[in-house]
Structure 1
Amino acid sequence: MRVLVVYATTEGQTRKIAGRIAARVAETGHTPTTADATEAGPAHDPALFDAAFLAGSLHAGRYQAALVDYARRHAAALNARPSAFVSVSLSAAGDDPEDWSGLARCVEAFGRETGWTAMRLHHAAGAFRFTRYDFLKRWAMKYIAHRRGQAVDTHADTEYTDWPALDAFVDETLAAAGKGA
């Protein structure tokens, strides 16, 4: 099976997640093609693939504009084949019901805005990338961590992604795609 993985990233965690998806696709005997949504061209048309994964991260309640644009332009092809969405956010690292209902609203808004409804959805926890933040972003992210009761080292990056859960999601998605679901 030929599998497309398109992602958009801000600090790099979603790129890392997309790389893991592609690696898992390859490990299961399928052929992955990975593209950054900002660089996706005609060779990354979902109509050329048997299945597709899109991954994007939430920042201030929105996904990257390049991913929104890609999903909107290719909604018909994405809806016509097995497809999955990996939504990356720090909110997915916790169990606050308000955070999770906010995540659901963001995914619903993404679907309305793009016209694409993924066959499967996975919320992946992101990362604090303090080594990449400027002063203002570092301060804002430290405040967010404090509000959540998380102690963070602002001189190091902290990753929350559950890699085994992501692998299981990829495996389940590929199995469902293989059954024509």
Structure 2
Amino acid sequence: MKILVAYATTEGQTRKVARWVADRMFEQSHTVEIAPLSEIDDIELRRFDGVILAASIHLGHYQPEVAEFAHKAAKQLVNQPTLFLSVSLAAAGHDAEDWRGLDRISEEFYAATGWSPDRFVQVAGAYKPSEYDMVRRFVMRRVIAQKDPDKDLSIDHEYTDWQSLGAEVDAWLAKIPE
């Protein structure tokens, strides 16, 4: 199968997720094209057997390029298997209010773009104080301190559950007709 993996990233974790997913599919003998959404213009989606979009949530929204792409390509996307990977630190926790917020964000995204994926997966992101500016570091330290009080806030920490992500991708691939 030929799969498109397109992503939008702010701090790089979603790019890492997209590359990991693409590598996994390639190792399973699938043909994979991976690209940042900011570089995809008028791509012919019929060339692909399936499409994976990955984006991260920051301040309650996905990157503008994923919303623009989904809105523009909604009519094409509904005609093929799709998987949406939503990356966020909120997905790393077990707080019911955070999960309701994630559901609200995804519903707003679907309403705004006119596209709803066949499969939607919340993916836990990463905390990277080594890459944050002073303001972001301050804000993120407060968020992590509330959610993971035993965490050393001076070092980077990846919350992504790679095994679970692999199982989700494999389950999605298994449903695509050959």
1:155 alignment partner in structure 2: 154
**Which residue identity lines up with residue 11 of structure 1 in the other structure?**
E
Aligned residue pairs: how many?
A: 178
1:1-181 pair list within 5 angstroms? 1-42=1-42, 44-178=43-177
CA contact (8 A) 1:46 1:77 kept: yes
Helix, strand or coil at the partner of 2:39 = coil
CA contact (8 A) 2:56 2:62 kept: yes
Please list every run of at least 4 consecutive aligned residues from structure 1 whose deviation after the TM superposition is greater than 6 angstroms: none
String of CA shifts for 1:81-103, please: whole Å, max 9, x gaps.
00010000111101111111111
CA contact (8 A) 2:9 2:55 kept: yes
C-alpha distance in 2 between matches for 1:45 and 1:96? 40
Identity of aligned residues (%): 42
Unaligned 5+ segments in structure 2 are none
Structure 1 pair 21–149 and aligned structure 2 pair: CA distance change class (3 A): closer
Helix, strand or coil at the partner of 1:95 = coil
| 1:30 CA displacement | 1.0
| 1:31 CA displacement | 0.6
C-alpha distance in 1 between matches for 2:58 and 2:32? 27
C-alpha distance in 2 between matches for 1:114 and 1:153? 39
TM-score (norm 2): 0.95
| 1:132 CA displacement | 0.8
**Which residue identity lines up with residue 10 of structure 1 in the other structure?**
T
C-alpha distance in 1 between matches for 2:94 and 2:44? 36
C-alpha distance in 2 between matches for 1:108 and 1:7? 19
C-alpha distance in 2 between matches for 1:86 and 1:149? 23
Helix, strand or coil at the partner of 1:38 = helix
| 1:160 CA displacement | 0.2
| 1:152 CA displacement | 3.6
**Which residue identity lines up with residue 176 of structure 1 in the other structure?**
K
C-alpha distance in 2 between matches for 1:95 and 1:149? 11
CA contact (8 A) 1:47 1:78 kept: no
String of CA shifts for 1:142-170, please: whole Å, max 9, x gaps.
01112224344343211000000111111
| Higher mean displacement: 6-15 or 155-164 | 155-164
C-alpha distance in 2 between matches for 1:45 and 1:68? 18
RMSD: 1.3
**Which residue identity lines up with residue 32 of structure 1 in the other structure?**
V
**Which residue identity lines up with residue 28 of structure 2 in the other structure?**
T
**Which residue identity lines up with residue 160 of structure 2 in the other structure?**
T
Helix, strand or coil at the partner of 2:54 = strand
C-alpha distance in 2 between matches for 1:145 and 1:86? 22
